[in-house]
Amino acid sequence: MTTQTPGLHAVPAADPAAQAEQDRAGQEHFDRIIAEDSRVEPRDWMPEAYRKTLVRQVSQHAHSEIIGMQPEGNWISRAPSLKRKAILMAKVQDEAGHGLYLYSAAETLGTPRHVLNQQLLDGRAKYSSIFNYPARTWADMGAIGWLVDGAAIANQVPLCRASYGPYGRAMVRICKEESFHQRQGWEILYELSHGTPAQKQMAQDAVNRFYGPSLQMFGPPDEDSPNSKQSMAWNIKRFSNDELRQRFVDMIVEQAEALDLTLPDPDLKWNEDRGHYDYGPLDWDEFKAVVSGKGPCSVQRMQRRRQAHEDGAWVREAAAAYARKTAAERASAELIGA
């Protein structure tokens, strides 16, 4: 039997009665944290389903950041100026960083990064549907920044208050960086939409292609979202998928006007009674196809990720060899000192 501070995750007790008591105290402590809208930390007892849902959401988010580097990475060598290239490189590097913060947050829940990475490489893990669409023109860098990062911010700002401490804290930093990303996308589109007619057309075409998929980033409609209810009860998610989608639509309508671009939805109109913009139906069949690996770039994205993983094998081997060498040196220095 183990002794423990109530609520702390302890070594499993050998005696079933003691184990049951440990779980009861842990559950009580956990329920109190959630009721007080406080934070669960890695060493706290937590229900296995809470742990599992967090690993699922946080790792899917981490994978999204890593795969999400590809559409923009593709344009680094073709950016129209040195300044644009430097900004885009910084943005793509930020996305790698976001992936790392999130894998680290997931590790605090007990699943190592190499396990999560293997799930991605095996095609067993999901990542955001949006990254299975091609980035065809330079204007797509603008549309990705404005709409995709914009949707990411709308979705992720409430996650800064997620009940799991390491996740919420990681999201604070991520959201700050996403604001810069959105701003740079807006600026690319603004410049194009106030440029030549061909540039304006290129900006409009990019917005036309990214509008629907960016609204789908918020996930399926509430009635088809199996995880939302429980995640909201646990204070992981603070708003439902449709609530956040609506908030995003309300925000971008006026921004599109300021950009002098239109949104490709004939049903978009202000609804006085609801105090929100109505918008037309989204193509959920397309969403399901994309999520199940049949997006326009799904195969290409995974091939590129697997190739990058193989290409990085020598770095992992060198890092492991260095770690072994320094550990051996430390051990022999301790022996000599002893």
Residue closer to ligand FAQ, measured from CB, 10 or 55: 55
One-letter identity of residue 241: N
Interface characters, 79-98, with ligand FAQ (x: CB under 6 A) = ----------------x---
Work out whether 128 is an interface residue with ligand FAQ (CB under 6 A).
Answer: yes
Binding of ligand FAQ at residue 291 (CB under 6 A)?
yes
Q: Is 228 in the site for ligand FAQ (CB under 6 A)?
A: yes
Residue 220 touching ligand FAQ (CB under 6 A): yes
Please list every residue from 42 through 61 that binds ligand FAQ, using CB under 6 A: 56-57, 60-61
Asked if 148 touches ligand FAQ (CB under 6 A), the answer is yes
Q: Closer CB to ligand FAQ, residue 226 or residue 281?
A: 226
- Distance between CA atoms of 157 and 325, rounded to whole angstroms? 43
Task: For residues 35 and 162, give the distance between their C-alpha atoms in angstroms, rounded to a whole number.
Answer: 13
DSSP string, 296-329: TTHHHHHHHHHHHHHHTHHHHHHHHHHHHHHHHH
How far apart are the C-alpha atoms of 17 and 20, rounded to whole Å?
5
User: Which residues, other chains included, contact 170 with Cβ-Cβ below 8 Å and sequence gap of 6+?
Assistant: 101, 102, 104, 105
Report the residue from 46, 109, 152, 256 that binds ligand FAQ according to the rule CB under 6 A.
Answer: 152
Q: Which of 16, 226, 281, 337 binds ligand FAQ (CB under 6 A)?
A: 226
Please report whether residue 135 would count as binding ligand FAQ according to CB under 6 A: no
Residue 225, interface with ligand FAQ (CB under 6 A)?
A: yes
How many C-beta neighbours within 10 Å does residue 213 have? 23
Question: Of 64, 204, 246, 298, which lies in the binding site for ligand FAQ, with binding defined by CB under 6 A?
Answer: 64
Q: Which residue has the tokens 């979202």?
A: 225
Integer-rounded Cα Rg, in Å, for the chain is: 23
65 binds ligand FAQ (CB under 6 A): yes
Other beta carbons within 10 Å of 9: 16
Residue 231, interface with ligand FAQ (CB under 6 A)?
A: yes
Quick one: 145 exposed, middle or buried, by C-beta within 10 A (0-12, 13-18, 19+)?
buried
- Torsion over CA: 264, 269, 275, 279 (sign): negative
**Alpha-carbon distance 154 to 156, whole Å?**
6
**CB of 274 vs ligand FAQ, minimal distance in Å:** 22
Q: Is 218 in the site for ligand FAQ (CB under 6 A)?
A: yes
The contact pattern for ligand FAQ, residues 158-177, with x = CB under 6 A and - = no contact, is --------------------
For residues 206 and 240, give the distance between their C-alpha atoms in angstroms, rounded to a whole number: 28
Residue whose Cβ sits closest to ligand FAQ = 68
Place of tokens 């194009």: 192
- Residues in contact with ligand FAQ, total (CB under 6 A)? 30
Q: Which is nearer to ligand FAQ, 212 or 220 (CB)?
A: 220
Neighbour-count burial of 185, counting CB atoms closer than 10 A to its CB (0-12 exposed, 13-18 middle, 19+ buried): buried
Binding site for ligand FAQ (CB under 6 A): 56-57, 60-61, 64-65, 68, 95, 126, 128-129, 144, 148-149, 152, 155-156, 216-220, 225-228, 231, 237, 241, 291
